[in-house]
Structure 1
Amino acid sequence: MELSLMVFCTLLFGILSWKMNSLVQKYKTYIALYTSDKVIRFGKFHPLWGHIHLLVPLIKFQELAVKGMRETGKKITCYWLAFLYPILGVCHPDTVKIVLKSSEPKNKQKGGGYFTLLPWLGDGLLISDGKKWERNRRLLTPAFHFDVLKPYVPIYNKVFDIFLDKLDEASNSGQSIEIYHRVGLATLDTLLRCALSYEDNVQEQGSKNPYVNAVRILTNISLKRIMEPWLHPDILFKMSPSGRKYFKHAKYVHDFDERIIQERKQALAADPSLITRRRRDFLDILLTARDENGTGLTDREIRDEVDTFLFEGHDTTASSLSWAIYSLSKNPEEQQKVYEEVTKVLGNRTQVEWSEIKEFTRLTLFLKESMRMFSPVPSVGRITTKELDLDGLKVPANIEIYVLIHALNKREDIWGDPETFRPDRFVNDPEKDPYSYVPFSAGPRNCIGQNFALNEQKVALAKLVHRFKVLPDTDHEPEVDVDLVLRSVNGIRIKLERR
């Protein structure tokens, strides 16, 4: 008995020693990264909070990165998530290129906080990795071929006619109007109609629409959880008030999607020729896609991709489009150039045709500059699966890295005068590194729906400037904040004048 106890204690001591040694080695690596002369550090380290107390709201994270790179010229940032582990940020084309060119996935447990989205969005293209991501990316790519995108243009026109009519009605008093919420409703309306062929009077219902409300709540809780390490363990999160609220609204979103998916499956089963007699949408392609083995997506995979596309496709586009409208109001000379181009292309017509989108060259430059000034997605996360050399800094596997898109777009050594709105900077510049501007990410995991989003925004902005002159609200200035996308704490307000 005594011998058995001695053996047990010896094994236990050995395991604890091994674990402790592993932990010590891990923290030695972390400290080496943080103390390297290659990184920008954020203020004084707090033994409990690390640097979290310095980075809330999250826009401060990007502002500190911009300030640090201007003062030091360094290309990498580093801060601690509480006392748990350091997180790196890259904000120069040289380091951004290395991170984005590699196919390392966004780890579901760490990598940029994507684990907080997992119960809602599931294992779709945003979060999945490895062979599954490669397979599903191949299966979904046909959904964004121009033959599929082309029939969406009449839908863009219809949705934004409703949007403009509502703006017209709201601006009759001459008072300024808040547009971010209205734009979000329009982009969701677009996604539901294009991706699912589903019409639900989203813009008429406004914030009363339960799907709109659910997505807003899920987004807010997901971001908040990232900055609350005590809620990172799933069991603690599920027991918390915010966790219970999160799963309640995630269930609503999932039930909503599953109902539409099942109805479409039943319709196609009853009439297989249906898919050839009407416009094919995103859901049709998901349901009929087959890999090289003849295997399609499971019901859960289809739901995950629908959830991912509806969220990414409407929320990020809403951010980009809202800030573009704000940019129109603040830059009247550039707005006039866009208006003259749109008038030349459309004449007296109000409907934009597919063939005309490519003629909006000035509008395209304007939109690019707006996305540089106001990055719709301020950062994207990765986690290393092998050692990387970032500007001489040896980064081992399993280290979280953000690509700081907002900070990258504010580099003076790249943009010269980054705070000046100047669309002409995007006229062909052969010397500019393509990784200096990555609004849709880049490399193998770039945004699959970027052409869909750009086409939608160009149609929306063309129709807007064709009908209205956009003016600023001089009594209101938006307070920029970083959520999962770039938002304004106090909304975005403009005035409109009929042309």
Structure 2
Amino acid sequence: MEVLGNLGVLFLLLLAALLLAFGIYCGYVLWVHAKYDHIPSAPRESFLLGHLPIFWRMMKKKEFVHDLFLQWSEKYGPILRFNALHRVSVMILSPEGVKEFLMSPQYPKDRLVYDGISSIFGERFLGTSLVTDCNYDRWHKQRKIMDPAFSRTYLIGLMETFNEKAEELMEKLEEKADGKKEFSMMTMMSRLTLDVIAKIAFGLELNTLNDDQTPFPHAVTMIMKGMTEMRIPFVQYMPGKQKMIKEVQESVRLLRRVGKECLKQRREAMQNGKEATLDILTQILKGDVLKEIRDDENILDNFIAFFVAGHETTANQLSFTVMALAQHPEILERLRAEVDEVIGAKRDIDYEDLGKLKYLSQVLKESLRLYPPAAGTVRWTGIENVIDGIRIPANTTLMFSTYIMGRMEQYFKDPLTFDPDRFSEEAPKPYYSYFPFSLGPRSCIGQVFAQMEAKVAMAKLVQRFDIQLVPGQSFKILDNGTLRPLDGVMCTLKPRSLPKDFQM
């Protein structure tokens, strides 16, 4: 009896301690709320969980949460607060705020957010790559190593590969171009950009356009799915998720294994005096003066970052662009007239041709405005700021969305209308309200590369084929780590009548 009595006392003491801890935590949450409650926001559904139940319901239904943020911005203004337990994040949809926080190196990426994708389900993923490194000085050293591989001289030399791989895509599309066969344009674009980044960045010939059995497209798809699923708390403990988690882990291990083998072969070639091509991998290995960041794990981090981001975002951009053009035949015809004038009957596109394809540039920019594959970015401020008259406390996570700002009436007239003339030379330039590749020192290193690749692929596609969308598609957007067309852009194609002097 005495033992039972002692256990009862112990239980009561433990319960009292837990209640005290919970009370203290609630007091802390209340104190945090007091610092941020002056910032506009939709009503919280829960004192502790804040807005999380709203987001969780939408994720479960596969609804597009970015459109909810857009609605909130229209109702509550361009500075919004989001509560989640004891954390409060602030979304900045103001050009003044975008300029202040993205253009300056004093506001780093938020470690809590980017550390979350340094590994996936326990497997090292992006580690301390250019994408995830929140230490500005260390990131800057990595960026200096990479910059020469994205110089204008190097990019001009890529035209042969861009043409070669885009031509392989055209050949695959010709097999489908009977006006009846339905296929996913997103799948085809994803395989194209995967082949391009593998060859240009790492000297790998994946040949995913011609090999349906290659594991790489599926691996990347599973990794992006894993990034999305990780947003759900305790997802790794949920029944029914273990198969998906195992596939994601195996996919990450596959890419790191391939990267390790690629790294080994390149080192051996360089040691044997073989002339190395100026690609991303070579640039990393040549950075001998910066050995402190050249450990193999960091090299593999960057291998995966370029491998995944270097094809996923461009594939999605191309898919959205095809979707938009097929919905607007008058814009497609105007683009085709430019392509016919600049490219004519040529098979291969020259670097000089890209600068002449001005309307194509406008089309691609407008596609990125309405459908940016990377919806936005995140920063951290350690100091208090005032933006649009609203005080932002120090030590706050800041969220920025080019998707939302691109659809706000105060920044773009008739924002839901697809209108490439917004980006004509005569049109007013968007003032810190358009940043599909981010802005400032942490902007995407591969943006020129990506747009050259996109131009070559789109010019050839428009030159060769008439595009029809399969009826019944929703044209909704899926957030799968990046934004992509939910239905995959299902198409049918017919070959255009090409001139007799078409140069094969």
Query: Which category of TM-score, normalised to the shorter sequence, fits these structures?
Result: 0.7 to 0.9
Paired residue type of 1:274: E
Preserved contact between residue 78 and residue 92 of structure 2 (Cα < 8 Å): yes
**1:141 and 2:144 matched:** no
Secondary structure of 2:356's partner?
coil
Task: Give the Cα–Cα distance (whole angstroms) in 1 for the partners of residues 62 and 238 of structure 2.
Answer: 23
Equivalence for 1:8:
none
Name the stretch that deviates more: 58-67 or 411-420: 58-67
Equivalence for 1:212:
217
Alpha-carbon spacing, 1:115–1:79, altered in 2? closer, same or farther (3 Å) = farther
TM-score between both structures, scaled by the size of structure 1: 0.87
Equivalence for 2:332:
335
Equivalence for 1:263:
265
Task: Give the Cα–Cα distance (whole angstroms) in 2 for the partners of residues 160 and 244 of structure 1.
Answer: 34
| Correspondences of 1:267-278 after superposition (within 5 Å) | 267-271=269-273, 273-275=274-276
**1:119 and 2:119 matched:** no
Secondary structure of 1:202's partner?
coil
Task: Give the Cα–Cα distance (whole angstroms) in 2 for the partners of residues 77 and 54 of structure 1.
Answer: 20
Alpha-carbon spacing, 1:489–1:294, altered in 2? closer, same or farther (3 Å) = closer
Secondary structure of 1:209's partner?
coil
Alpha-carbon spacing, 1:214–1:294, altered in 2? closer, same or farther (3 Å) = closer
Which has a greater percent of helix?
1
Paired residue type of 1:258: K
Equivalence for 1:169:
175
Secondary structure of 2:209's partner?
helix
Alpha-carbon spacing, 1:413–1:173, altered in 2? closer, same or farther (3 Å) = closer
Give the C-alpha shift of residue 196 in structure 1: 0.9
Alpha-carbon spacing, 1:480–1:19, altered in 2? closer, same or farther (3 Å) = same
Task: Give the Cα–Cα distance (whole angstroms) in 1 for the partners of residues 117 and 47 of structure 2.
Answer: 25
Give the C-alpha shift of residue 69 in structure 1: 2.1
Equivalence for 1:6:
none
Equivalent of 2:82, from 73, 79, 82? 79
Where does structure 2 lack aligned partners over 5 or more consecutive residues? 1-17, 497-504
Task: Give the Cα–Cα distance (whole angstroms) in 2 for the partners of residues 158 and 42 of structure 1.
Answer: 54
Equivalence for 2:369:
372
Secondary structure of 1:160's partner?
helix
Paired residue type of 1:230: F
Task: Give the Cα–Cα distance (whole angstroms) in 2 for the partners of residues 471 and 30 of structure 1.
Answer: 53
Give the C-alpha shift of residue 247 in structure 1: 2.5
Secondary structure of 1:358's partner?
helix
| Structure 1 vs Structure 2 CA RMSD | 2.9
Preserved contact between residue 116 and residue 222 of structure 1 (Cα < 8 Å): no
Equivalence for 1:463:
460
Preserved contact between residue 155 and residue 194 of structure 1 (Cα < 8 Å): yes
Task: Give the Cα–Cα distance (whole angstroms) in 1 for the partners of residues 359 and 316 of structure 2.
Answer: 20
Paired residue type of 1:41: A
Task: Give the Cα–Cα distance (whole angstroms) in 1 for the partners of residues 342 and 462 of structure 2.
Answer: 13
| Correspondences of 1:414-433 after superposition (within 5 Å) | 414-428=411-425, 432-433=429-430
Paired residue type of 2:382: T
| Correspondences of 1:331-480 after superposition (within 5 Å) | 331-428=328-425, 432-480=429-477
| Correspondences of 1:212-231 after superposition (within 5 Å) | 212-226=217-231, 228-231=232-235
Alpha-carbon spacing, 1:243–1:42, altered in 2? closer, same or farther (3 Å) = farther
Paired residue type of 2:271: A
Preserved contact between residue 411 and residue 430 of structure 2 (Cα < 8 Å): no
Preserved contact between residue 184 and residue 489 of structure 2 (Cα < 8 Å): yes
Preserved contact between residue 163 and residue 456 of structure 2 (Cα < 8 Å): yes
| Correspondences of 1:168-317 after superposition (within 5 Å) | 168-172=174-178, 174-206=180-212, 208-226=213-231, 228-231=232-235, 242-271=244-273, 273-275=274-276, 279-291=277-289, 297-317=294-314
Equivalent of 1:158, from 138, 158, 164? 164
Task: Give the Cα–Cα distance (whole angstroms) in 2 for the partners of residues 153 and 42 of structure 1.
Answer: 52
Preserved contact between residue 111 and residue 383 of structure 1 (Cα < 8 Å): no
The number of residue pairs the alignment matches comes to 472
1:1-50 Cα offsets, whole Å, 9 max, x none, are: xxxxxxxxxxxxxxx9x9999956752453135532x4232663375544
Preserved contact between residue 146 and residue 284 of structure 2 (Cα < 8 Å): yes
Secondary structure of 2:410's partner?
helix
Secondary structure of 2:324's partner?
helix
Paired residue type of 1:217: M
Paired residue type of 1:327: A
Equivalence for 1:9:
none
Name the stretch that deviates more: 125-134 or 384-393: 384-393
Equivalence for 2:74:
70
Task: Give the Cα–Cα distance (whole angstroms) in 1 for the partners of residues 86 and 27 of structure 2.
Answer: 14
Name the stretch that deviates more: 143-152 or 279-288: 279-288
Task: Give the Cα–Cα distance (whole angstroms) in 2 for the partners of residues 43 and 467 of structure 1.
Answer: 53
Preserved contact between residue 50 and residue 79 of structure 1 (Cα < 8 Å): no
Secondary structure of 1:229's partner?
coil
Alpha-carbon spacing, 1:288–1:194, altered in 2? closer, same or farther (3 Å) = same
Where does structure 1 lack aligned partners over 5 or more consecutive residues? 1-15
Task: Give the Cα–Cα distance (whole angstroms) in 2 for the partners of residues 188 and 442 of structure 1.
Answer: 25
Paired residue type of 1:266: E
